[in-house]
Amino acid sequence: MEDALIIQGGKQLKGNVKVSGAKNVALKVIIASLLFDGEVVLKNIPKIADVFELLDLIQKLGGKAQFEGDHTVVVEGKGISKNRVDLLHGSKLRVSFMMFAPLLQRYSIVSVPNPGGCRIGARPIDRIIEGMQKLGIIVSYDSNSGYYTAKLDKPPSGNYRFYKPSHTGTELLIMLGMLAKSTVTISNAAQEPEIDELIAFLNAGGANIRKSQTTISISPSSKNLRLNEPFTIGGDRNEAVTFATLAVATKGDITVSGLSLKLIASYLNELKKVGAGVETINQNDFRVFYRGALNPTKVETSPHPGFMTDWQPNLAVLMTQAKGESVIIERVFENRFSYVSELRRLGAEIEFIRLPINNPLEYFFFNFDPSKKYNQAIKITGPQALHGGVLTVSDLRAGATLAIAALIAEGESVVNGLSILERGYENFAEKITSLGGEIEKV
């Protein structure tokens, strides 16, 4: 295997596509399942590389975690016999850091390596560590080994307010709150819908979690968590956005199903603004189609319910086809424009620009360092007739972007780094083929 896609671009994509289960829900509920008594049955779990890596990690720790059926996963944590996540899995999975919760449920001392995953910026691990410490967990870091060690002498307790919201931090503190004997309150919590789904999952097993705007309260349950019925997760909003973008970018017509439309409302609104056709069929199905020349736009990323950082690479490649100048400002991560140099290889006209920001410490959601130089905004000039080329994927969402670019470019393109794309997209090539695209895995 060469770990690449060969794409013949210039084809209109038309037809119907059903999105797979949400990657960022699947990973979290699989880990949270380890907090339950007995087996937990999860449905609509995507068969993607990150899920397989997580299942393997849990098995290595002694737990049960496996697919039983097409998209059904069965998890049980009672066999876990190790308190240390190995470096290999930790380096591959950002979500491995959340293993602190189920392991601290069983052991007073737990070690987890510095989290891996896509390197799209210095993610705010300090906020997560501070939150753990506020709950009474002693956390230390060994720079020689790359491991964090957490020690818990008594049940977690206390409250924590995030200075800036952290998606992963909110989810981990919710799970750690499940170990408490008194109510734990998280303030200025992240608002992503994946968090709501995690709360719904835990509550279905008997947890007592309440959410009011940006405040989450985790109160002790009267009994241990147990799930009597299978839990089905929702569709992947990032995958839905990818196919919605492809519909317009290839001058095609795609109906997307399997996702609550409210989860991607801000992206669909942006598509309407630039001149795409968007038609709601029902609350879980929508149609996106090309209507004519596209208008330029200006967007800035922000946490939910704003324009998601994962979506801006999709919009960037779409704006290479719009008439005029578009601007994208990245506020969430400081290294999310890795795809720019790759798009330029295909003939895209994109340049980094400086924008006056009065208070960057407050404006940006990452840990802004005034002594560093950041490239947080790009200007895209279109329309550009993209041509084929050789591209290299650097992170998951950029991978989808480069595939979109190759599909609208004239001629043949090679997209190296398929394994990164497959961390979050199930049967990507097969779905593209079903819509009329010419794509081959090699």
Catalytic machinery residues: 118
Q: For residue 327, what are the CA distances in angstroms to 316, 349, 408, 413?
A: 9, 12, 21, 26
Whether residue 165 is preceded by a cis peptide bond, meaning omega within 30 degrees of 0, is: no
Residue type, 125: I
- For residue 37, the SS3 value is coil
Helix, strand, or coil here: 212? strand
Residues 84, 111 contacting (CB under 8 angstroms): yes
Residue 22 DSSP one-character state? -
The DSSP bridge pattern shows strands 298-300 and 285-289 to be unpaired
Judge contact between 29 and 269, C-beta under 8 A.
no
CB pairs under 8 A, 24+ apart, for 366-373?
A: 366/121, 366/122, 366/123, 366/124, 366/332, 366/333, 366/334, 367/122, 367/124, 367/126, 368/334
Name the strands in the sheet holding 138-142, side by side, starting at the edge strand that comes first in the sequence.
Answer: 109-113, 147-151, 138-142
Q: Region of 41 please: left (phi>0), alpha (psi -120 to 50) or beta.
A: beta
**CA dist., res. 293 & res. 273, Å (int):** 12
Q: What angle do CA 166, 302, 333 make, to 5 degrees?
A: 65
Residues with Cβ within 8 Å of residue 48, at least 6 apart in sequence:
20, 23, 422, 423, 424, 425, 426
- State the Cα torsion 186-187-191-195 to the nearest 10°: 0
Q: How far is CA 59 from the centre of its chain?
A: 23
What H or E segment, with its residue span, contains residue 32? helix 23-32
**Is the distance from CB of 224 to CB of 196 less than 8 angstroms?**
no
CA distance 347 to 65: 45
SS3 392: strand
- The residues, ordered by sequence, that sit 6+ positions from 289 with a Cβ below 8 Å of its Cβ are 247, 248, 252, 253, 254, 276, 277, 279
